[in-house]
C-alpha cells in the first residue's frame, strides 16, 4: 500500500509546476522578509513550510497565493508566464492567519458568499455539504462572531476550499483545532492527496509536517535553509482514508 502511494505520487511529479516562485524578495518597512527565495511546488505534492517566528513562512505563503506582491522576482501559476489570471484565481484557495470571515454573517452565509464569488455552480448545496463534512452543521445559522476560535478556524478552512481549488494554501491550519477538528483536517489532507490536489501549508509542528507532507521546506531569516523530502508517508495509507 505504501509503495502504491509512493508510485502514485512520483508519477505526478513529471508535470509542470503548479506554482513557481523565482527569486522572490519581499521587503517591508526596509526589513527583508524574504530574500531571493526559489521554490517550485509540483502537482499533487504536499509541501510544509517550517521555521522560527519571523522566518517569512506566512509571507511566502501569501505570495504563492497572490495575496502579497513581491518587491523583486516572479511568481508563475500553472505554468502561466503572464501572471495570475482570473481563471488561475479560481484554482487557488488560501486560509491565512485571519479567518477572512464576516462576523455579522452566519456560517452558511459566509460559505455561500465565498462560493458565489468563486463561481461555484450550486453554492447553497456546496456550502451545506462543507458544513456537514466539517462537523459544523448544528452551527449553520449561527453568526460567525458567536463561534469559538477553533470553530472559526474550521470554517475558514472550509471557505478556502469551497471552490475545490487545485492549489490549497493553509497557514497553521492545525492551530486552535480540537481533536475532532484535527481528525477532520487530516482526513481532508488524505482526500486532497487522493484527488491529486497540491497543498502547501505552514506549520510549527514537525510531527504533523512529517506525517502529511512530501517535502519539508525550512526557512530562516527569509531564506530557504533546508529542503527535506519525507519519503513515503508511514502514518497514513490510502486504504485507511
Interface positions with other proteins (CB under 8 A): 25, 27-32, 35-36, 62, 65-69, 71-72, 86-87, 89-90, 92, 94, 96-105, 109, 113-114, 116-119, 143, 159, 221
CB-wise, 69 or 207, nearer to other proteins? 69
Task: Supply the minimum distance, in Å, between the C-beta of residue 131 and other proteins.
Answer: 18
Rounded CA-CA distance 2/7 in Å is 9
CB-wise, 30 or 207, nearer to other proteins? 30
Q: Which of 67, 64, 73, 84 is nearest to 32 (CA)?
A: 73
Task: Supply the minimum distance, in Å, between the C-beta of residue 36 and other proteins.
Answer: 7
Rounded CA-CA distance 198/88 in Å is 14
CB-wise, 36 or 137, nearer to other proteins? 36
Q: Which of 25, 56, 63 is nearest to 41 (CA)?
A: 63
Task: Supply the minimum distance, in Å, between the C-beta of residue 98 and other proteins.
Answer: 3
Task: Supply the minimum distance, in Å, between the C-beta of residue 2 and other proteins.
Answer: 36
Task: Supply the minimum distance, in Å, between the C-beta of residue 67 and other proteins.
Answer: 5
CB-wise, 25 or 187, nearer to other proteins? 25
Rounded CA-CA distance 202/216 in Å is 10
Task: Supply the minimum distance, in Å, between the C-beta of residue 105 and other proteins.
Answer: 7
Q: State which H helix or E strand residue 159 sits in.
A: helix 149-160
CB-wise, 115 or 213, nearer to other proteins? 115
* Dihedral angle sign, alpha carbons of residues 50, 56, 58, 62: negative
DSSP, collapsed to helix, strand or coil, labels residue 198 as strand
Give whole-number Cα distances, 8 to 45, 48, 93, 186, in Å: 11, 19, 24, 19
Task: Supply the minimum distance, in Å, between the C-beta of residue 191 and other proteins.
Answer: 22
Q: How many CB atoms lie within 10 A of CB 195?
A: 10
CB-wise, 68 or 216, nearer to other proteins? 68
Give the contacts of 127 (CB within 8 A, at least 6 positions apart): 108, 111, 112, 115, 162
Asked if residues 155 and 107 have their Cβ atoms less than 8 Å apart, the reply is yes
CB-wise, 147 or 233, nearer to other proteins? 147
Report CA 146 to chain centroid distance, whole Å: 25
Amino acid at each position: 500500500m505504501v509503495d502504491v502511494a509512493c508510485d502514485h505520487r512520483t508519477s505526478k511529479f513529471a508535470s509542470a509546476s503548479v506554482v513557481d516562485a523565482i527569486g522572490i524578495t519581499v521587503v517591508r518597512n526596509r526589513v527583508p522578509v524574504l530574500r531571493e527565495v526559489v521554490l517550485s511546488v509540483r502537482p499533487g505534492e504536499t509541501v510544509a513550510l517550517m521555521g522560527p517566528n519571523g522566518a517569512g513562512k506566512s509571507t511566502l505563503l501569501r505570495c504563492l497565493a497572490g495575496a502579497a506582491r513581491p518587491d523583486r522576482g516572479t511568481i508563475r501559476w500553472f505554468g502561466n508566464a503572464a501572471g495570475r489570471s482570473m481563471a488561475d484565481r479560481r484554482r487557488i484557495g488560501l486560509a491565512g492567519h485571519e479567518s477572512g470571515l464576516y462576523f455579522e454573517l452566519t456560517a452558511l452565509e459566509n460559505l455561500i458568499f465565498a462560493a458565489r464569488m468563486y463561481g461555484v455552480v450550486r453554492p447553497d448545496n456546496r456550502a451545506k455539504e462543507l458544513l456537514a463534512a466539517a462537523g459544523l452543521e448544528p452551527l449553520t445559522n449561527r453568526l460567525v462572531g458567536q463561534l469559538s476560535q477553533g470553530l472559526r478556524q474550521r470554517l475558514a478552512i472550509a471557505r478556502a476550499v469551497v471552490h475545490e481549488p487545485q492549489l490549497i494554501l493553509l497557514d497553521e491550519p492545525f492551530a486552535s483545532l480540537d481533536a475532532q477538528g484535527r481528525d477532520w483536517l487530516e482526513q481532508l489532507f488524505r482526500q486532497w492527496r487522493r484527488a491529486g490536489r497540491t497543498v502547501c501549508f505552514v506549520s510549527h509542528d514537525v510531527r504533523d509536517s512529517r506525517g502529511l507532507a512530501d517535502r519539508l521546506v525550512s526557512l530562516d531569516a527569509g531564506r530557504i535553509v533546508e529542503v527535506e523530502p519525507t519519503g513515503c508517508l508511514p502514518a497514513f495509507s490510502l486504504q485507511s482514508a
